[in-house]
A and B are shown apart, each in its own frame.
Chain A
């Protein structure tokens, strides 16, 4: 059975916390007739909305994990990929962006474009995701969709094009004017489910006509047909829709819609917009890497009859066992098929295949290209690619940032011990930015991730979902070491203790590497170190990088060049050269003037202008560098770069400094040298701990 892919939409809904994303999703599911009651996110009935399936999310009122939900609107098959809204979870956002074809950017009509929208928008631009905007909460006091549209242009640099004009705002919002058809649309009935079209109210006529002209101007840039029709005076709504669609796909236009999900206004029109303007799977070019042919880039075909290629983008431990969410890019997965995980080479059997509606599921027999489904009982990590046995592709690997913060955890009792390791095992599979290991020296379990909140959420989940109570140590920043100048080494490892000895000499130099962590250059000529021992040298150097001599932090940004050496016909061995390399590195390292590097976060604080001075002062006190401020009315955004080590507990400080009126986001930016006096302190601290 081949499906009409033009009737499929894989979309994401992305927004700042509290822009009403969950409520909107809930309403979408309501209108698409899958659920029959509407619950609020923080509902009084305690039932909670459908998409936030994790307990914790219900409590905090934010959406953390991305689940995929299927629904049907008119003859359209929509998969909604819910994307988390906090920057600490960006790997989840990015993975969701990878599998969706288009997105709805939700904005609050009062709050407008906030820092989180900026981050998400930047990610969407990076993954070239066509998007439409929905200005929600037009029923709230202070709603100003026109200002938000202007912010979309100025702050996000999008060609925001109003497709609707609200009829009344705040408490008076009655409906919207559809600029394409130039009709007023009212949402009536108890849940706004009855749609009534009418003439445009006289007082809004002029404004609507102005927007219509603006729409024609912008849309005609993308369609000659429309351009000609305008000249002849006969543009039809179909032509306008097609032109706007083309502009949206090219990322040249961002159509803007308005409404209030809470008050049931505008949701159906938004669903129509998803149908009209967002791409279907075949509109988007997706690239796989052919692992059998030097990772050559191949375009996936979307053809259900081609070899199967699918990406596992999300794992979830559900009530019924482990669920793996898959997006199929070509071919068809059938129940009972054998598929291969191209990362591990392992073959797995497709048992149950389901389509998810958050907590409820529907058994299906097969899933074709472009679809999103979930599989039961498949062992894999998220980000893995599955193929059938005729191809060996990997959906291009995504950039995964190194963790910047870590903390020690200790189970409170034996039972917690077992549960903890179960939980950690699961989390590391779900989230590649979450890592865990046991420290050899202290025997402590260390978890590391992208931020304080990131780790906090996992600790909470351990407690709730796995019943693993743990004691938590103070968070530690992940420092790095690097060298600041070139230094030579020439080291001979010699050991003679009866029997066969060990001998190896390695000479060369270390130098700073501008990009990348480590590079090994073999400039040996004339075989002064025999071929077979070169990789042992490389291994020895890599071993040395794990703990620098300065503060026992990992060493990065080093190029090691070897250009001379000696060997002994009997006493040289892999081990001897590995040890020689370790010695050589030690010899060269301190001469290369090592420096300590710390993670620097890009911090963005937004809030009322009156607090600008004290907020800047607080950032300054934290060794922060204020890069700039943008002031708009009484609202200011401050951008700064601040060392992560200084940001612990900042949310509390900020809250008390601004009476809770300001908020901040932060995102890893780069590693930068720690100032000398601070570095000395850190080195002293770390060495003391080790004693």
Chain B
């Protein structure tokens, strides 16, 4: 199997193209879930999908160590490779290494100016030109709308995609008109795509539900199943 086949098989390819079928280059994406349902795994899959399509991924991990974040990638790559026969998995692994850069920050240290400064450093020094930034572990609970607007502005200026993850709390049932739940109910309007990981009632199964998608042509509602043991997305 070739690398493009692998990209074409990735269930998360549904987010790769806009409603006219062109590759998405700018977007604010948001992935929400309760704790422990595999947010990071889905973000890593989105990252891998982008790498296979030739994008460079900057993975910003807030509050997690470099080694742990790297381990996420290693595990998921292993799971994906276990399922398919690849012509040269070593080469592909090297390709992931070349096209991914992980940055870790402490919770208190992460701000938009800082991120922008880092990204500029990367670009100016010709180290790395990200096409997509993954921000895992952003604290939505303690951040106000202007900060998100600021980050959206940055995505616009730099012309790239940013995917966030957000933690939902069981006992907070506030929700926006568009259906974006707390703690992001106030900032939902800044996002083009909002997706949730949802457990099935009384079952161990998980599924991916689209709340809104104004870029692509994905209709709201359940779109994909998640494998509860590997957290990998699969066709519903």
Tell me the bound Cα distance from A637 to B70 in angstroms. Answer: 15
Q: What is the minimal beta-carbon distance from B96 to any residue of chain A, in angstroms? A: 11
CB closest chain-B residue, reference A672: B94
B150 within 8 A of A: no
A626 within 8 A of B: yes
The CA-CA distance from A626 to B121 in the complex, in Å, is 13
List A contacts of B70 (CB < 8 A): 627-628
Is there contact, CB below 8 Å, between A629 and B67? no
The answer for the CA separation of A626 and B129 in the assembled complex, in Å, is 12
Partner pick for A631 among B67, B69, B109, B122, CB 8 A cutoff: B109
- CB A112 to nearest CB in B, in angstroms, measures 13
CA distance A672 to B109 in the complex (A): 36
Please, which residue of chain A has its CB at the minimum distance from the CB of B121? A613
Chain A residues, CB < 8 A from B101 = 626-629
A157 at the interface (CB under 8 A from B): yes
The reply to whether B98 and A631 contact each other, CB–CB distance below 8 Å, is: no
CB–CB A631/B103 < 8 A: yes
Interface check A630, CB cutoff 8 A: yes
Q: Closest CB-CB distance, A144 to chain B, in whole Å? A: 14
Chain B residues positioned under 8 Å from A613 (CB to CB): 120-122, 124-125
> Which residues from 617 to 653 on chain A have a C-beta closer than 8 Å to any C-beta of chain B?
617, 619-620, 625-633, 637, 639, 641
A629 near B106: Cβ-Cβ < 8 Å = no
Whether the Cβ atoms of A617 and B102 lie closer than 8 Å is no
Residues of B within 8 A of A625 (CB): 97-98
Give CA–CA (A626, B128) in the complex, Å: 9
Known: A612-B118, A628-B102. A617 touches B65 (CB 8 A): no
User: In the complex, A633 Cα to B109 Cα: how many Å?
Assistant: 6
Residues of B114-153 contacting chain A, CB below 8 A: 118, 120-122, 124-128
Chain B 181-202, CB-CB to A under 8 Å as 1, else 0, gives 0000000000000000000000
Contact of A461 with B by CB under 8 A: no
Contact A628 B125 (CB under 8 A): no
CA distance A629 to B61 in the complex (A): 10
In the assembly, what is the distance between CA of A672 and CA of B98, in Å?
A: 13
Report which of A155, A620, A629 forms a contact with B125, defined as CB distance below 8 A.
A620
Find out whether the CB atom of A617 lies under 8 angstroms from the CB atom of B126.
yes
Contact between chains at A620 and B126 (CB < 8 Å): yes
Residue with the highest number of chain B CB atoms closer than 10 Å, among A155, A157, A612, A641: A612
Q: Whole-angstrom distance from the CB of A214 to the nearest CB of chain B?
A: 20
A672 to B90, alpha carbons, bound, how many Å?
11
Give A630 to B105 CA distance when docked, in angstroms: 6
Assess whether B97 is in contact with A627, with CB atoms less than 8 Å apart: yes
> With an 8 A cutoff between CB atoms, is B175 at the interface?
no
Please, what's the 1-or-0 string for B58-90, where 1 marks a CB less than 8 Å from any CB in chain A? 000000011101100000000000000000000
A593 to chain B, nearest CB (A): 14
**Chain B hits for A633, CB < 8 A:** 106, 109
**Shortest Cβ gap from B89 to chain A (Å):** 11
Known: A616-B122, A625-B98, A639-B66. A631 touches B104 (CB 8 A): yes
For the complex, give the distance between the alpha carbons of A157 and B64 in Å.
Answer: 11
Q: Does A614 reach chain B (CB closer than 8 Å)?
A: yes
The answer, yes or no, to whether A154 is at the interface (CB within 8 Å) is: yes
Size band of the interface chain B makes with A: 20 to 34
Please, how many residues of chain A have a CB less than 8 angstroms from a CB on the other chain? 23
In-complex Cβ contact of A155 among B65, B103, B121 (8 A)? B65
- Give the residues in chain B near A612, CB-CB below 8 Å: 118, 121
Q: How far is the CA of A270 from the CA of B105 in the complex (A)?
A: 33
Q: Shortest Cβ distance from A211 into chain B, in angstroms?
A: 22
- Say yes or no: A632 contacts B127, CB within 8 Å: no
Which of these, B98, B105, B127, contacts A620 with CB under 8 Å?
B127
Annotate A152-179 by CB proximity to B: 1 below 8 A, 0 otherwise.
0011010000000000000000000000
A629 contacts B127, C-beta separation under 8 Å: no
Q: Collect the chain B residues with CB atoms within 8 Å of residue A632's CB.
A: 105-106, 109
A629 partner residues in chain B, CB cutoff 8 A? 66, 101-104, 118
Smallest beta-carbon distance A113→chain B, Å:
11
**CB of B64, distance to nearest CB on chain A (Å):** 9
**What residues on A are CB-neighbors of B102 within 8 Å?**
627-629
With a cutoff of 8 Å between Cβ atoms, the chain B residues found around residue A641 in the complex are 97
Closest to B117 in A: A613
Which residues of chain B come closer than 8 Å to A614, judged between CB atoms? Answer: 125
A396 to B72, CA, bound (A): 33
**What's the minimum C-beta distance from A676 to chain B, rounded to whole angstroms?**
15
User: Could you tell me the distance between the alpha carbons of A293 and B80 in the complex, rounded to whole angstroms?
Assistant: 42
| Cα–Cα, bound, A613→B103 (Å) | 13
Q: Which residues of A contact B125 (CB under 8 A)?
A: 613-614, 616-617, 620
Q: Which residues of A contact B122 (CB under 8 A)?
A: 613, 616
Residue of B nearest to A629 (CB): B103
Q: Which chain B residue has the least Cβ–Cβ distance from A514?
A: B90
B126 vs chain A, min Cβ distance (A): 6
In the complex the two chains form, what is the Cα distance from A612 to B117 in whole Å?
10
Query: How would residues 158 to 199 of chain B score, 1 for a CB under 8 Å from any chain A CB and 0 otherwise?
Result: 000000000000000000000000000000000000000000
Q: List 25 A-B contacts (CB under 8 A).
A: A154-B65, A157-B65, A157-B67, A613-B120, A613-B121, A613-B124, A616-B122, A616-B125, A616-B127, A617-B127, A619-B127, A626-B101, A626-B127, A626-B128, A627-B101, A627-B102, A628-B101, A629-B103, A630-B103, A631-B103, A632-B105, A632-B106, A637-B66, A639-B66, A672-B94
A626-B101, A628-B69, A637-B66 given; name 7 further pairs at CB < 8 Å: A613-B121, A613-B122, A616-B122, A617-B124, A617-B126, A620-B126, A631-B106
- A interface with B by C-beta (< 8 Å): 154-155, 157, 612-614, 616-617, 619-620, 625-633, 637, 639, 641, 672
**Top-9 shortest CB links A-B:** A613-B121, A617-B125, A628-B102, A630-B104, A620-B127, A628-B66, A616-B127, A629-B103, A630-B66
